[in-house]
Structure 1
Amino acid sequence: MTAYDVLRVFCGPRGGYGNELGVVRDGSVLPGPDERQEFAAKLGFSETVFVDDPERGVIDIYTPTTRLPFAGHPCVGAAWLLDVPELVTPAGVVGARQDGEFCWIEARAEWVPPRTLRQYATAAEVDDLPVPPKGEWVYAWAWLDEPAGRIRARAFPGRDDGIDEDEATGAAALLLTDRLGRALNITQGTGSQILTAPQPEGWTEVGGRVYLER
């Protein structure tokens, strides 16, 4: 069996919740894209990361059904685990830093695949949403406290891979931050926390807590 770590990324203030992430630290054991795709499907996490160069931070990201040039929670988790100043992804070089209990990455909205950002009037409406039909990637959100930048969100990938809802999605949070042009404190899923902040020249920081599960 190929060795891998399991992290929880974007955990809540008390260390719970977060989105699970599989990380294969030695990507050379599964060098081909077909092998990696098969392994990611077998693990069944929303994303799995293969590390191709731990010192330079070169990573490769897969969902159970497809390869991604960039994704938020895999980059935050890999940056925390490898403790590197940057990650190299097919989309571009992702800045990374540790700040106390939070790990941050810096990326660009144009790296994120299309998402539907759908605003609702209240957090209760977001809480009550059923899983929408397949085919459309929906990030449902509402203000909890607009002056404070606090948001309630849920993410529905719309893929046919058994993952109806993502517990925490950094890329969608990045898109929303880019659209709103302000720092956000997002409560997503059952209790995950994602922090974001716009940066100069079109960059956005996304941060959260990461814990090693096993």
Structure 2
Amino acid sequence: MIDLVELRVFIGPDGRGGNPLGVVTDGAQVPGTADRQRLATQLGFSETVFIDDVIRGAVDIYTPSAQLAFAGHPLVGTSWLMRERGQAAEVLRPAAGEVRTWAEDDFTWIRGRAQWASGRRTHQYATAAEVDALPAPPPGTGWLYAWAWLDEAAGQVRARAFPRRGDNIVEDEATGAAAVVLTGELGRPLDIRQGAASQILTRVHPGGWIDVGGRVARS
């Protein structure tokens, strides 16, 4: 039997929200790319991650329809789970490169780069109400991160995410990679309230590095 742990990543302050994540804790149980893609499709989470080497932090990430080099909520969730199981890592290694990770209070953080999340287009709306009123998904093609300021001075953002890649994920409840892209574009730390009840925090560092963090819980 495959050891699969189900998590919710980027849950809100009240414990609601969070994007579902499947973590296969022993990647050797599903060794082939085709079999991993098949399992990710069957599970239907927005992402499923396979831990290939706990010591090195090697991980492999899939949506229901594609393999990803980098994704925020799988890495945050995997880091949290490894720490909970007494296997805390300082670095995770998806295909994109080395991703630092750590915990601060009840938040788990990773550090990545916006170019690792290419293909995610952001679009600013005038008000949060306009973002809330969007159909799921909005007309058009391609990955869309719709956002508006809740409080620009405080860096508070309302956002919704629409992969629009033709699989069964109509809207992502919380997306760390898209948050990294938006933070890189705006060049400032953000407090993002996404989906129904999720929260994502980001920070900016020199050299194009961006931190993204959130709370995690078992489903």
Report the TM-score, using the length of structure 1 for normalisation: 0.97
Partner of 2:153: 147
1:116 and 2:121 correspond:
yes
Matched residue, 1:105:
110
Alignment of 1:8-23 (within 5 A): 8-23=8-23
In 2, Cα distance between equivalents of 1:182 and 1:84: 27
- After superposing on structure 2, the runs of 4+ consecutive aligned residues of structure 1 that deviate more than 2 Å are none
Deviation at 1:134, TM superposition (A): 5.6
Of 119-128 and 75-84, more deviation after overlay is shown by 75-84
- In structure 2, relative to structure 1, the CA distance for the partners of 1:178 and 1:40 (3 Å cut) is same
Aligned-partner residue type, residue 79 of structure 1: S
* Matched-pair contact (CA < 8 Å) for 1:133–1:158: no
Distance 1:4 1:135 in 2: 32
- Secondary structure of the structure 1 residue equivalent to 2:17: coil
2:164 to 137, 143, 158: 158
Counterpart of 1:167 in structure 2 is: 173
* CA apart distance, 1:133: 3.4
2:197 is matched with which residue? 191
Q: Which amino acid aligns with 1:210?
A: V
Aligned-partner SS, 1:13: coil
Give the alignment's TM-score, normalised by structure 2.
0.95
For structure 2, the 5+ residue unaligned runs are 83-87
129-138 vs 145-154, greater mean Cα deviation: 129-138
Q: Which residue identity lines up with residue 75 of structure 2 in the other structure? A: C
Count of equivalent residues: 213
Residue 40 of structure 1 is matched in structure 2 by: 40
- Contact 1:134 1:160 (8 Å CA) reproduced: no
The worse-fitting range, judged by mean Cα deviation, of 126-135 and 150-159 is 126-135
Give the CA RMSD over aligned residues.
0.9
